With several copies, the nearest count.
Chain A
């Protein structure tokens, strides 16, 4: 389904859109973004269970629906539109992805059902102060101790890291790069919420002082499953971003249609019309790329990696550019706190750099380009 959605998917999308329009109004977004957690368990649980969002891509054997990444990306596009404040990206993609890609059957059996049921929130902690998105930036150590492992070091820019029940951690063990799971309340783990520029998405810094950890997959075998997890996250994020960009574009268009200046709707000024045309072009191209990238990963195409990086690069440029235009189109009002535009503007800026900015992904795209 690279170029179209099935009628089932379209129906799912419209149900989800209705649900989020109802449960994630900007009034609600503003309320939640001011909280330390950044979301509320009950509110999120209600939304999640209504459509089984965290279960979508988890295999049926572990309590999920076993649907595709493409299906999950519909969820992200809609969440991006609604600017939903919830630990979905961290739980259902970063953590669940790592578990599905790296975990043994037993580990998946132990960890996934809780996530699918929406009882467990989780995240993946891999970046450190050096700010590198790649696995090789990992300095945090895992040392064998009395049958188990203990982790020492730190992680930062951890999405929803201060609230997650379960934390998947990328560490250096003697055997090499390895993944572990840690309980959010584990002893020796200090979690500090960071002040995020985009209040609708929270990050945390985690300090590990001899924290007991359970291995996820074979020690030293984390490189491949980790990479796979990140590329899936990149594609999901790209879809979230095009959802947000499209919503911003639509709102800016609607505003231009009703806003009067010099005795006529500003939508009747040619410069506004051309700006809106350019916005549509940029957003639609980014959408096509985000859709394609998801399907290409599902279908295991040769160009899947290149497409994923391409999608994130275009989404980063398109979302930020659309946000800049959207504020501009709203004029002074668009610069005020009470106008909603800045909520998406800030999400655009944080999404632009999260998992690497456009330039970073353009370079990776070219490295993965065929011919």
Chain B
């Protein structure tokens, strides 16, 4: 039993990879090997496809993967959140059933939290789960569900008790998406894409053993999922890029990434494409216009400072120091940057802002920015919610008195869905 430190881990990982990595191999086949060896998710418990490594050492292993060009376990999509949630709250049976196929990428997952009647207020869910006979029966509607039409399994938040207050009335289930009681409809957005779905449940079934944690503990489990989602959000850019190396396994990974990333095609436009500002200014001959220059400089400086602020937070995390306020600011900053960027793009476009598609500059990509940016200040918690979080959790200011947590949920005024 050698001591565990950066050097020993690096050596071990490198040795194993050099001994086992081959590009001419099936993606699933290779990932099974990773799962069995524990090198795919080394920070996971050794009992569950990991090696009990401290999280701090994971980057070391990843460096070795990068060095040799080895592919890792399936990381893209909701499946990562599913894995984290099941690891934290799932039963052994659930771990047995799901974790491996998550790592191999064979199963696709979706998240069933948001509802038409409760956007920012996830805990206000009214989709009901009633225990009838020997199983749970699900009725209601979810929305903003990415990849629901492809998913095998869904992470479902549903209300199991209407006499209890808002939060304790919720439970968390794993739902089989491929069953008659589940209908999936695409949801078209103002930018023309349909990256999300609406999911309707009519007497959909969930086996008792697919309840995660206990009945009434659904909110705790949900926060685990959401916490990992927030973390993952930053990662998005990094894990989205596929390798361009030749080889059977790389081809398979490219397919996987293409299909999984498909719904996210417009996400770069959503955050304002500040990377295009200077080049657009030159292209439109406005790069010497002092007014334009000021506006561009405002956007660039804000986004740079936001990037540095995020680095401060990550550094604190890595050094195991308590994270300062800078951690909670990223989401709000990015939506302010996106909005400002859209403004500058508009003034750079001039009359061209009237046009879209093939008639618009850059084949409509710039027009796409203008109609996608509004999502940035809404999706994943509106700016208003972010400000509430910052003021209440970071600045410790008094919580808003809301009338919905102290009484039976059935008595709480709520939207007649829509």
Known A2-B308, A277-B387, A369-B278: A157·B354 in contact at CB below 8 Å: yes
Asked if residues B301 and A127 are in contact (CB atoms below 8 Å), the reply is no
> Closest CB-CB distance, A170 to chain B, in whole Å?
15
Asked if residues B402 and A131 are in contact (CB atoms below 8 Å), the reply is no
Known A4-B319, A328-B378: A314·B294 in contact at CB below 8 Å: no
Asked if residues B351 and A310 are in contact (CB atoms below 8 Å), the reply is no
Cβ-neighbour of A288 out of B293, B305, B356, B412 (below 8 A): B305
Chain A residues whose C-beta falls within 8 Å of the C-beta of B294 in the assembled complex: 359, 362-363
Asked if residues B403 and A263 are in contact (CB atoms below 8 Å), the reply is yes
Known A131-B350, A197-B371, A331-B120: A276·B397 in contact at CB below 8 Å: yes
Asked if residues A263 and B404 are in contact (CB atoms below 8 Å), the reply is yes
A105 vs B332: C-alpha distance when bound (angstroms): 51
Any chain A CB within 8 A of the CB of B107? Answer: no
Taking CB as reference atom, which chain A residue is nearest B396?
A257
Asked if residues A342 and B371 are in contact (CB atoms below 8 Å), the reply is yes
Asked if residues B278 and A371 are in contact (CB atoms below 8 Å), the reply is yes
> Closest CB-CB distance, B51 to chain A, in whole Å?
29
Asked if residues B325 and A195 are in contact (CB atoms below 8 Å), the reply is no
* Stretch of A42-50, A108-116, A266-274 with 4 or more beta carbons under 8 angstroms from chain B: A266-274
Any chain A CB within 8 A of the CB of B268? Answer: no
Any chain B CB within 8 A of the CB of A278? Answer: yes
A198 vs B383: C-alpha distance when bound (angstroms): 26
* Interface 0/1 of B321-365, CB less than 8 Å to A: 100111001001100100100000011011111111111100010
Chain B residues whose C-beta falls within 8 Å of the C-beta of A349 in the assembled complex: 346, 353, 370-371
User: Which B366-381 residues sit within 8 Å CB-CB of chain A?
Assistant: 367, 370-371, 374-375, 377-379
Asked if residues A280 and B325 are in contact (CB atoms below 8 Å), the reply is yes
User: Which A100-124 residues sit within 8 Å CB-CB of chain B?
Assistant: none
Asked if residues A335 and B189 are in contact (CB atoms below 8 Å), the reply is yes
A281 vs B278: C-alpha distance when bound (angstroms): 25
Asked if residues A331 and B378 are in contact (CB atoms below 8 Å), the reply is yes
Asked if residues A362 and B353 are in contact (CB atoms below 8 Å), the reply is no
> Closest CB-CB distance, B351 to chain A, in whole Å?
5
Asked if residues B188 and A362 are in contact (CB atoms below 8 Å), the reply is no
Taking CB as reference atom, which chain B residue is nearest A257?
B397
Asked if residues A285 and B305 are in contact (CB atoms below 8 Å), the reply is yes
B-side interface mostly: helix
Asked if residues B121 and A262 are in contact (CB atoms below 8 Å), the reply is yes
A210 vs B132: C-alpha distance when bound (angstroms): 79
A-side interface mostly: helix
* Stretch of A15-23, A29-37, A224-232, A350-358 with 4 or more beta carbons under 8 angstroms from chain B: A350-358
Chain A residues whose C-beta falls within 8 Å of the C-beta of B315 in the assembled complex: 3-4
Asked if residues B332 and A277 are in contact (CB atoms below 8 Å), the reply is yes
Known A261-B120, A276-B397, A286-B305: A332·B290 in contact at CB below 8 Å: no
Any chain B CB within 8 A of the CB of A203? Answer: yes
Taking CB as reference atom, which chain B residue is nearest A352?
B346
A352 vs B398: C-alpha distance when bound (angstroms): 33
Chain A residues whose C-beta falls within 8 Å of the C-beta of B405 in the assembled complex: 263
Any chain B CB within 8 A of the CB of A333? Answer: yes
Any chain B CB within 8 A of the CB of A61? Answer: no
User: Which A253-297 residues sit within 8 Å CB-CB of chain B?
Assistant: 253, 256-257, 259-265, 267-274, 276-278, 280-281, 284-289, 291-292
A270 vs B378: C-alpha distance when bound (angstroms): 18
Cβ-neighbour of B354 out of A4, A203, A335 (below 8 A): A203
Cβ-neighbour of A260 out of B166, B326, B347, B413 (below 8 A): B413
Any chain A CB within 8 A of the CB of B260? Answer: no
Task: Report which B residues bind A (CB closer than 8 A).
Answer: 114, 116-121, 124, 143-144, 166, 187-190, 192, 278, 290-291, 293-294, 296-298, 300-302, 304-306, 308-309, 311-312, 314-316, 319, 321, 324-326, 329, 332-333, 336, 339, 346-347, 349-360, 364, 367, 370-371, 374-375, 377-379, 382-384, 386-388, 390-392, 394-395, 397-398, 400, 402-405, 412-415
A to B CB contacts below 8 Å, 14 in the list: A195-B356, A196-B356, A197-B367, A253-B395, A256-B397, A262-B404, A274-B384, A280-B329, A287-B309, A288-B305, A345-B374, A352-B353, A363-B290, A366-B296
Q: Which 7 A-B pairs have the closest CB atoms?
A: A263-B404, A342-B190, A273-B391, A362-B297, A337-B188, A285-B305, A268-B398
Q: A133-B351, A285-B302, A363-B293 are in contact. List 13 more A-B contacts (CB 8 A).
A: A196-B359, A197-B355, A197-B360, A262-B400, A262-B402, A274-B384, A276-B397, A288-B308, A288-B311, A289-B308, A341-B190, A349-B353, A363-B297
Task: Report which A residues bind B (CB closer than 8 A).
Answer: 2-4, 127, 131, 133, 157, 194-198, 203, 253, 256-257, 259-265, 267-274, 276-278, 280-281, 284-289, 291-292, 307, 310, 313-314, 324, 327-328, 331-339, 341-342, 345-346, 349-350, 352-354, 357, 359, 362-363, 365-366, 369, 371
